[in-house]
Amino acid sequence: MQLFLFLLIFKTFYNKKYQIIYKRLIKIISRQYRSYLNKITFEKWKCNMTIVSISLNEKLLHEIDHLKDEMGFSGRSEVIRASARMLIADNKEKDEFNGEINSVLILIHHKKVEDKVTEIKHDFEDVISTQIHSHLREEKCLEIFILDGNAQRMNQFYKMFQTSPKMEYVKLIVV
């Protein structure tokens, strides 16, 4: 029976009429196989992931979509994972600083939150040596703090702004 089938396939394979059918069959089988493989890898990959819900404002979401398209990320989740990895690496690097150091902290925020910055600033006068305050377009403020002193205190100062959703830009540069 198997030999018969094989001969039938072999005989019909060189017939143009049947070749189309074979090609279609091969296409269907390979497509099925591929989706089966994809499903397995996806299931396997999904096992290591936890789904969390996060809230983002329109502006941030728009920026994420822009990054996704521009940098070729496969989805929004991938952009957020990459950002989290960068933040973790950055945080680790900052945690390693200790002793007496110099650094520069750059902030950009809306005029409306100036009071909040002043409030935080007053708690860290022991590390602030110079402060430059300037106004940018669209009612934004630029603050440059030149810091001198204990690295851990500087890190605390930096984290106060880094974790604040009101800050539009926060960067600490150790010099």
Binding footprint of Ni ion on the chain (CB under 5 A): 141
Min dist. Cβ of residue 102 to Ni ion (A): 25
Measured between alpha carbons, how far is 150 from 147 in angstroms, rounded to an integer? 9
Minimum separation from the CB atom of position 143 to Ni ion (A):
8
Nearer to Ni ion, 44 or 137 (CB): 137
Looking at the Cβ atoms of 126 and 168, the one nearer to Ni ion is 168
Which residues are bridge partners to 134 per DSSP? 142
Question: Side-chain half-sphere of 54: how many Cα atoms within 13 Å?
Answer: 12
- Rounded CA-CA distance 91/79 in Å is 18
Contact 91, 102 (CB under 8 A): no
Least CB distance to Ni ion at residue 122 (A): 16
Contacts of 146 (CB under 8 A, 6+ apart): 102, 104, 128, 129, 130, 131, 132
Q: Closest residue to Ni ion, Cβ-based?
A: 141
Of the pair 141, 154, the CB lying nearest Ni ion is at 141
Dist CA 166 CA 109 (whole Å): 7
The smaller minimum CB distance to Ni ion, of residues 141 and 151, is found at 141
Cβ contact 174:150 at 8 Å: no
Of 11 and 133, which CB lies nearer to Ni ion in the complex structure?
133
Min dist. Cβ of residue 100 to Ni ion (A): 30
Report the nearest approach of Ni ion to the CB of residue 76 (Å).
34
- In this structure, is the dihedral angle defined by the CA atoms of residues 35, 40, 41 and 44, taken in order, positive or negative? positive
